[in-house]
Structure formats: structure tokens, C-alpha cells
Amino acid sequence: MLEQNKELLPFNTFGLAAKAAHYAVVSSTSDVRAAIQGGIRPIRVLGGGSNILFTQNMEGLLLKNEIMGKEIVRRWPNRVHVRVGGGENWHQFVQWAVENNLGGIENLSLIPGTVGASPIQNIGAYGVEIKDVFVRLRAIDLETGKERVFNQKECAFGYRDSIFKREAKGRYLIKEVVFSLTTQQHRINTSYGDISKTLETLGITTPPTIADISRAVVYIRSIKLPDPQKIGNCGSFFKNPELPAAVLTDIRREYPQAPGYDLPDNRVKIPAGWLIEQCGWKGKRVGNTGCYEKQALVLVNHGGATGSEALQLARDIIASVKARFGVELEPEVNIW
């Protein structure tokens, strides 16, 4: 059913007030086809609203993806393919997988948002990215209403990146995603330092199970990242910049402790949180917005913030990091 002038405050984790001129909840391909046939444009898709900053009211049509379902569609001795509806909540899917002893996504516990949004920015945390378990997805073309399958290669995944942020941006609604999960001999990934430390803190001494890893990740995230139910935010606001190694060498002349991770081709990834913290933003409040006190990469809404206020803070942070380090931060959230 098409609604007009829909208030979006309950549908975004930053807690911003904004209205959609036309709005429809879709739970099937035929719902999508019915909604788009009226010719209202532009069309945008909303998932969990956890990676979006509304800076204005939305013209056109906003589709809220509520296509549900979780089903094992193929089985092998050691693994299965699971097909999951794009409207399913990501963390509930992870919990379901862990409860059913399906491994591969436990490091991605507690990430806000929906399954349909997960491939768009190739969600990743604690040493795992969605591309590591991704098989294919089925999307609905918002112009024609036709379905199209994308395999792993066609998605062109990169760090917080895919074809859906580039050539195919805004063109599709992701109906369902198929993941390959292990049923035994799980590939436990404790490569991220915080995980092994947390397992110790939690008293887990035997080789960790996927449930242990999930618990550790939930523990870390609950400490480091603000709960959007309590304090509005959209996770990491910026991407960690990937730069030539020489940039880090230069930074380390002045800051020998500067963190950085080696990438192929003589490049490095520098934690944006560190750069922002060095510029004095961590824990700083500006009007109703601010930079989170425990993780500088996260911007927060202290209550009543507007999208443009948050955007201005983001711009000021970008400018100061640029001035101090010559590094241009790029927002990771979608600014609408």
C-alpha cells in the first residue's frame, strides 16, 4: 500500500526526522512491481536505515524492503547454501546460523541493518567480509521490475564496496542473498587482536566454537560502539583510507606509533578513527551531534540533531584530517 508524506524518524538509526513523499513496504517481487508501476520516480530502497544520513525530505518513492525467509537450499557433507530474504535483520540471521551450527558469519555478529543491504557495502568486521561467504544474490530491477541474478564476480566486491555502490547504484532492490556456510570443520577466525583478547577475558580456554566467537564479537561491539537504541548513530561514518605506504611512513616520522595495516601493492590501510582522534575530535560535542567518546570513527546524535548538522560536523572532520595529515577521508554512510 502506498503511503504519502511518511515520517522516517523510526526507520533510521541516526534518529533523524525526514519525510518520504511516497512510501511502500514491499515483501515480494509482485509488491515491488505494483509499487513501481505508478511511475513515481526517483525510487530508493530502505533496509534497516543503519547506514543512512537523511539531510532532506525524500522526493519520489521509498521502498522499505521486508522480503523475508531463511532456507537451506543445498547441502554437502561440510557445508550448505542458505537463501535469505533481503528484508531479514542481519544479526537475527547470524544468531539463527550460530544456533544451527552454521559457520562463516559469526565474526559479523551485531552489525545493524538488513541482509539485503549487506552485499551493497560488503559489510565486514573482525577479519571477515561478506564476500568470504557470498554465493549469489537475486535483485529486482527498479525500472523494469525484472529479476536478475548476480554472482560473486558480478558484484565486484571491494573494501566496503561493490557494483551496487558504483555502476548499479540505486538501480536494484536486493530480494535475496545466498550464502555458503560450513556445517563442520568451521574456519574459526581469531586473527583480529581484539577477539583473542576477549576470548581470554570471557574465560574461553578450549578452542573457541562459532558461538564463542559470536559472543566475543557481541562483547567487543557492545563496549566500543554506541547502541543505536540509546544513542543515534550509523556505525563507522568514514571508510578507513587505503593509501600508498609512503604516506604512512611520512606520518610515522612525526607519530612513530601511528597504526596501519599492510595491503598488497605497497599500499596501507590507516584507521580513520586514529586520524580523527589525533585531530582532537574524539568525544567532542558540537551542537546536538558529536564524535563518539570510545570510537572516533562514529558520529552520534545526542538528541534532536539534524542531518545537515551531522554533515557539517563530518565536513569539518574531513577538513581537519586533510589539513593535519594530507589524507582525504571519505564517508562510508549514504548521505541522502
Name the E strands within 66-106.
70-75, 79-85
* 102-141 footprint of ligand EPU as x/- string (CB under 6 A): -----------------------xx---------------
C-alpha distances out from residue 310 to 126, 298, 330, Å: 27, 11, 15
Q: Which stretch binds ligand EPU (CB under 6 A): 55-63, 79-87, 177-185, 294-302?
A: 294-302
Cα–Cα distance for residue pair 242/247, rounded to 1 Å: 10
Closest to ligand EPU by CB, 138 or 282: 282
Minimal distance, residue 288 CB to ligand EPU, in Å = 21
Q: Which stretch binds ligand EPU (CB under 6 A): 138-146, 233-241, 243-251, 317-325?
A: 233-241
| Total residues at interface with ligand EPU (CB under 6 A) | 19
Cβ-Cβ contacts under 8 Å for 229 (sequence gap 6 or more): none
Among 65, 109, 182, 236, interactor with ligand EPU by CB under 6 A: 236
**What positions carry a catalytic annotation?**
160, 236, 332
Residue 282 in contact with ligand EPU, rule: CB under 6 A? yes
C-alpha distances out from residue 83 to 68, 69, 140, 156, 294, Å: 10, 8, 16, 20, 36
Q: Which stretch binds ligand EPU (CB under 6 A): 59-67, 97-105, 232-240, 315-323?
A: 232-240
**Which candidate, 257, 214, 210, 200, places its Cα nearest to that of 91?**
214
Closest to ligand EPU by CB, 26 or 333: 333
Among 14, 93, 134, 274, interactor with ligand EPU by CB under 6 A: 274
Q: Which stretch binds ligand EPU (CB under 6 A): 70-78, 84-92, 97-105, 290-298?
A: 290-298
| Residues within window 157-196 making contact with ligand EPU, judged by CB under 6 A | 192
Cell of 158: 571491494
**Which candidate, 203, 182, 199, places its Cα nearest to that of 190?**
199
Closest to ligand EPU by CB, 69 or 127: 127
> What is the Cβ-side half-sphere exposure of residue 102, based on CA atoms within 13 angstroms?
21
The runs of H, that is alpha helices, within 186-298 are 193-201, 210-224, 245-254, 272-278
Minimal distance, residue 144 CB to ligand EPU, in Å = 32
Residue 235 in contact with ligand EPU, rule: CB under 6 A? yes
Among 63, 98, 178, 296, interactor with ligand EPU by CB under 6 A: 296
Q: What are phi and psi of 207, to 5 degrees?
A: -55, 130
Among 295, 299, 305, 331, interactor with ligand EPU by CB under 6 A: 295
Angle at 286 between CA 11 and CA 304, to 5 degrees: 35
Amino acid at 320: S
Please state whether 176 falls in left (phi above 0), alpha (psi between -120 and 50) or beta: beta
Residue 259 in contact with ligand EPU, rule: CB under 6 A? yes
Exposure b/e, 179-190, CB count within 10 A at least 16 = b: bbbbbeebebbb
Residue 273 in contact with ligand EPU, rule: CB under 6 A? yes
Closest to ligand EPU by CB, 65 or 236: 236
Cα–Cα distance for residue pair 150/186, rounded to 1 Å: 26
Residue 332 in contact with ligand EPU, rule: CB under 6 A? yes
- Residues found near ligand EPU in the complex (CB under 6 A): 125-126, 192, 224-225, 235-236, 239-240, 259, 271, 273-274, 277, 282, 295-297, 332
